[in-house]
Amino acid sequence: MKFRSIIGAIALTAFTAGAASAIEIEVQYPYAHLFAKTYKQIIAEFNKAHPDITVKMRAPYESYEDGSQKVLKEAITKKMPDITFQGLNRQRILVEKGIAQSLEGFIAKETDFEKDGYHKAMLDLGTFGGKVHGIPFSVSLPIGYYNMDVVKKAGWTKPLPKTWEEVIELCQVIAKSGQQVDTMFWGWNITGNWFWQALNWSKNNPMLDQSETKVNFNNDHGKWAMRTFAKLVKECKMPNYNLKEAMGNFSAGKIGMYFWSISALQRVTNDSAGKFTLKTGPYPSVESTGGLPAGGNAGMMLAKDPERAAAAWKFLKFATSGRGAAIVAETTGYMPPNKKANEVHLKDFYAQNPNKFTAVAQLPLLREWYAFPGKNGLKITKIIEDAMQSIVTGDRVDEPDKVLEEMSEKVQKLLPKTSS
């Protein structure tokens, strides 16, 4: 039976290859456990709309790190897929090395691009050197998760915290109530710099100056950010959990508040079902001029051959369109960046899933997940992670200013001398 089906498959491939107009494009994406269902559905609908294009899925990347690594290697051997989905902070390295193609040419030919839901804040996430190189596919934002049982038992009657001061207040109320739980966990360890960027963006404080050759976060806003982090660790007695432990313990009802990415919502909702009432709230202390860094990934064009690129563009556009984005929202915890998806396709969906809407309400705050420039870009994220870690272990929790100063010096050394 198996043999026969193989023969059948070969015959079918031969047949499709023989058809004159058929073209096959290759696509590769990260995190099969999150997106396998999503892409299956997108491809099924895409095939109906474009029967002349066959989409071949390569084995998914294990992670964002794996994704950029694979493309960088394939760029040497010239075996890249036509479309690759890359972590938002991993796009820059592919643009700087000239591997990802600009999408400006395709966008110029589209007539109703803006009306189709591709708004500026969304495109900005994939814009480098003034040119769009990536189109966000799924985005996430940091939000607050609350175990309402713990909050109520602690006797907290006020609305959920809107500032970090209130978070600390709630921490202390929970601690005093004598419940056997950790009061709070703050996701500093998501890549080690995402929450650092979140604190800075909430004050509209960019990582580097305009020329991208000088550290900017060693200013007063940066000091506020590092001090706030140290205060949260200290006053809330925040445990030093790794990613798995933190999510596991919160889902098990052992942590009161949990600040994390919206992308985990589906998972936490499932795992905590029946154990406690889960509620999400906006990320605290975001100023009116401030924002929050977007997580998630974007589709990038690697194909150079015009014919393949044209077909690949059709797929990329479909996947990120209102319809494609709606599939993302329905099958994952991520939000679709596309405006049309949220306003038209998903109206009823959010009425039924208010926890998911928390992040959608934050969409106007969308800021880039900044990728540091140059060859040391990824190494810099490690410097930030190490600095944050020295606070969370309690080693240097009493000297946030000094930690910031040293971190700034080290990052400065690794930045390019001239702006690119």
Partner 1 sequence: MSTHEAVQAGETPSFAAASVRARMRYQLIATMLSAPAIALMFLLLIGPVVAVLLLSFTDWSLGDSDFNWVDMATYQEMVEDDIFWKAIANTLIYVGIVIPGSIILGLGAALLIESVTVGRSFWRAVYFLPVMSTLIAMAVVWEFMLNAKFGMVSQVLGFFGVEAKSWLQEPDTALPALCLIAIWQALGFNMVLFMAGLTSIPRELHNAAEVDGVRSAWDRFWLVTWPLLTPVTMFVAIITAIRSFQVFDTVHVLTKGGPDNATMVLVYQIYQEGFEFFRSSYASALTVVFLGFIFLLTLFKVFVVERKVHYQ
Q: How far apart are CA 236 and CA 234, in angstroms?
A: 6
Give least dist CB 391 to partner 1, A.
10
Contacts of 228 (CB under 8 A, 6+ apart): 164, 199, 285
Give least dist CB 67 to partner 1, A.
12
Report the phi/psi class of residue 299: left, alpha or beta, with left for phi > 0 and alpha for psi in -120 to 50: beta
Give least dist CB 300 to partner 1, A.
14
Positions in 213-232 near partner 1 (CB under 8 A): none
Give least dist CB 97 to partner 1, A.
5
Q: 100 vs 311, which CB is nearer to partner 1?
A: 100
Give least dist CB 79 to partner 1, A.
13
Cross-strand partners of 258: 145, 185
Positions in 298-337 near partner 1 (CB under 8 A): none
- Other CB atoms within a 10 A radius of the CB of residue 231 amount to 16
Positions in 230-259 near partner 1 (CB under 8 A): 239-242
Among 34, 53, 88, 99, interactor with partner 1 by CB under 8 A: 99
Q: Which pair of tokens denotes residue 172?
A: 């202390």
Q: 208 vs 392, which CB is nearer to partner 1?
A: 392
Among 38, 54, 68, 200, interactor with partner 1 by CB under 8 A: 68
Q: Which pair of tokens denotes residue 314?
A: 């059709």
Give least dist CB 231 to partner 1, A.
20
Q: How far apart are CA 50 and CA 150, in angstroms?
A: 51
Under DSSP, the state recorded for 275 is T
| Nearest residue to 93 via CA among 117, 122, 118, 64 | 64
Helix (H) or strand (E) holding 25: strand 23-28
Q: 100 vs 365, which CB is nearer to partner 1?
A: 100
Tell me: does residue 73 bind partner 1 (CB under 8 A).
Answer: yes
Stretch that binds partner 1, among 25-33, 64-72, 257-265, 350-358 (CB under 8 A): 64-72
Q: Using CB under 8 A as the criterion, what x/- string covers residues 368-407 for binding partner 1?
A: -------xx-xx--x---x--xx--x-x------------
Tell me: does residue 69 bind partner 1 (CB under 8 A).
Answer: yes
Q: 13 vs 420, which CB is nearer to partner 1?
A: 420
Report the phi/psi class of residue 146: left, alpha or beta, with left for phi > 0 and alpha for psi in -120 to 50: beta
Q: How far apart are CA 192 and CA 297, in angstroms?
A: 17
Contacts of 63 (CB under 8 A, 6+ apart): 30, 31
Q: 71 vs 190, which CB is nearer to partner 1?
A: 71
Cross-strand partners of 127: 132
Scan for tokens 């997940």, then name that residue.
Answer: 369
Binding site for partner 1 (CB under 8 A): 65, 68-69, 71-73, 75-76, 93-94, 97-99, 239-242, 375-376, 378-379, 382, 386, 389-390, 393, 395
